[in-house]
Amino acid sequence: MSQKNQDNKQRHNVPLFFRITAVLFACLCWTPVWADSTNQQQLVEKATHTMTSFMEDPDLAWFQEHVKEAKAFLIIPQQLKAAFFFGADGGSGVLVARDDETGEWSEPAFYILGGLSFGLQFGGEASEVIILAMTQGAVEKLYSSSFKLGGDVSVAAGPYGGGVEGATSANLNADFLSFSRSKGAYAGLSLEGSIIYADDDSNQAYYEKKIRPVDILVTKSVKNEHSAGLRQAIMTATK
């Protein structure tokens, strides 16, 4: 048998749902770029709504009490997941970081969260997600172009309910704490192993110039008045 025929045979032996889920993952993580930044403006507005609604949710009492301790927020208004043993997820969001000296919050930087998972998991889910960066190491990782949660930095699900239900000391000491609200059926939700990477195209569209996350979050060399509502919502939440 020729090498070409062997390659074709191996390709056809790949389970169908592996190929389908891989395509789904690619679609979930693709973000279109609009020249007039309309898509990015809508994402910022949705992130504002997500932050506000999290602060009003009675099941997120721990989040509301401790949100002021966070050094940065990655807000993902819609994270999509689908799985049949092999899962894929993806969502676009905005990151806002606090200046330790002034206490002010930065302009938003655009990021994408995506991941693959294996195990006993079925169904689909659309979630609102907020990830709190609780340590300086977590914030510094966010300045990079991409990194994996659970690699050099730890991630844990934050407590729900009126107290610290489901919380452990290890969870509360994690570099990142994630909180989510969802509709639909999904088993096996976890951000461990997910990849966060900067969405350079969206950053360029929103600020109308090619720019890196560190320019937005640290040197603050750009500004967009459209983000005032989001920064005000975060300021109100963290008073």
pLDDT in tens, 32-66: 444 457 899 999 999 999 999 999 998 899 999 99
The arithmetic mean of pLDDT across residues 2-28, rounded, is 46
Confidence of residue 127 (pLDDT cuts 50, 70, 90): confident
Environment class of 229 (CB within 10 Å of its CB; exposed 0-12, middle 13-18, buried 19+):
middle
CB atoms within 10 A of CB 188: 15
Is the pTM higher than 0.85? no
Question: Which pLDDT score, from 0 to 100, does residue 112 have?
Answer: 93
Tokens for 55?
A: 């602060």
**First CA to last CA across the chain, in angstroms?**
70
| Contact of 117 with 141, CB cutoff 8 Å | no
Question: Which pLDDT score, from 0 to 100, does residue 9 have?
Answer: 45
d(CA 12, CA 74): 39
- pLDDT-wise least confident of 14-28, 63-77, 178-192: 14-28
Domain residue limits, the chain: 13-237
pLDDT value at 110 more than 90: yes
Tokens for 136?
A: 């300086």
Tokens for 106?
A: 């930065």
d(CA 48, CA 31): 19
Q: What is the mean pLDDT of the chain?
A: 79
Question: Which pLDDT score, from 0 to 100, does residue 163 have?
Answer: 52
Tokens for 60?
A: 């997120």
**Percentage of the chain modeled with pLDDT above 70:** 69
The residue assigned the tokens 């190929």 is: 19
List of residues 6+ apart from 235 with CB closer than 8 A: 105
- Span 180-231, pLDDT tens digits: 888 654 444 568 778 899 999 999 999 999 999 999 999 999 999 999 999 9
Question: Which pLDDT score, from 0 to 100, does residue 117 have?
Answer: 52
CB atoms within 10 A of CB 172: 15
Confidence of residue 30 (pLDDT cuts 50, 70, 90): very low
